[in-house]
Structure 1
């Protein structure tokens, strides 16, 4: 039986395709839920 590490959630801010204040490159995280801008 293969054991996987527990799920870890992470929230980040992205503007114009660029991560803001993250040390990871674009594409490192996978979007599960996205909140569009108001308007």
Structure 2
């Protein structure tokens, strides 16, 4: 039971990490576009 909870938490953590990295990447990309203007 505990292993299942740990596995689910681990997967959710990885997905959140990917989403946060993608958002921060888009923000950096947008900032670079703005600074070029």
TM-based fold match above 0.5 = no
Q: TM-score range by the shorter chain?
A: under 0.3
Structure with the largest fraction of strand? 1
Q: Which has the larger radius of gyration?
A: 2
Structure with the largest fraction of helix? 2
Q: TM-score, normalized by length of structure 2?
A: 0.16
